Chains A and B, each alone.
Chain A
Amino acid sequence: MQTETKSRVDQLTSPAGHPVAVLRFEGDIASTSKDAVLGAYQSLSKSSTKLVLLDFTKVDYINSSGIALVIQLLIEAANAGQKVYAFGLSAHFTKVFTMVGITKYAELFPSEQLALAAL
């Protein structure tokens, strides 16, 4: 019943010249999304990746188990000295991420362009 989560990684450079790994998610983010979320993140080089940008533009449904996976990603990133940002969340999930405190550890942007411009 849950739409399979797809993810891919794009390596971009911000306008300021910093390398940014963009994790693009598609589908539902739920308990079945561990490989797509954490697996994609764990495929990044810890030594060369300092900025991680999460793209939720093509995500329609995130439940509390999916939010927990995002928090696990944030914990691993914090332990690796990486900074995490996100964009593309709907107004509703922006509210939900704010309610559970994720915005304290991952700044949210309305678009990829605005996110990259800030990095």
Chain B
Amino acid sequence: MTNTKSTTVEVRLPSRMGYEKVAMSTAAAVAKLMGFREDRIEDLKTAVAEACINAIEHGNRLNEKLSVGVVLSAGADELEVKVIDDGTGMRKSPVKPDIDRKMHGEEGPRGMGMFLIQALVDEAEWVAGTDGRSSYVRLVIRLDKDAA
């Protein structure tokens, strides 16, 4: 992993809860090969897992006939992850959860996935497919982030 050419790894997951862990492990392995610190790998694992869960649950609506594509592109100093589903894309922006409102029943206890994704990586964008399908979330984590 010392050359500067982008290296691509692709994984295809069934739309079944739990399989996000396959993408999570793959992303962690690629990040480790690139030299990311352990704490950044943990951030990436959670962000990738949440992106896959959203794709499985909301994008593909748990339809096991559809799969989730995960494309990891390792560059010289950053790792880009695209998580692709057959949904129409996320129409809302990530919102920081308000624990007080949750505790008082004013908002549901769920709905933290997009916030976690955005908070744990250097870049996150949600892109709706132009054909109303093939939407994706694109994550980027940079190698030099907070380097000691």
Q: Which residues of A contact B (CB under 8 A)?
A: 1-2, 30-32, 61, 63-65, 67-69, 71-72, 74-75, 78, 90-92, 96, 99-102, 104-105
Contact = CB atoms under 8 A, between A and B. Distances in A.
Interface residues on B, range: 20 to 34
Contact of A75 (B22, B49, B102, B115): B102
Contact of B99 (A31, A65, A101): A101
Interface residue SS majority, chain B: helix
A105 B97 CA distance: 14
A55 B50 CA distance: 23
A71 B99 contact: yes
A104 B103 CA distance: 10
Contacts, number: 75
A61 B21 contact: yes
B110 to A, nearest CB: 4
Nearest to B113: A64
B36 to A, nearest CB: 13
A1 B18 contact: yes
B146 interface: no
B42 interface: yes
16 contacts: A1-B16, A1-B18, A30-B17, A63-B49, A63-B53, A69-B109, A71-B99, A71-B102, A75-B102, A92-B39, A92-B42, A92-B46, A99-B119, A100-B99, A102-B99, A104-B99
B103 A74 contact: yes
Contact of B109 (A2, A32, A72): A72
A42 B17 CA distance: 25
B116 A75 contact: no
A14 B90 CA distance: 47
Contacts of B42: 90-92
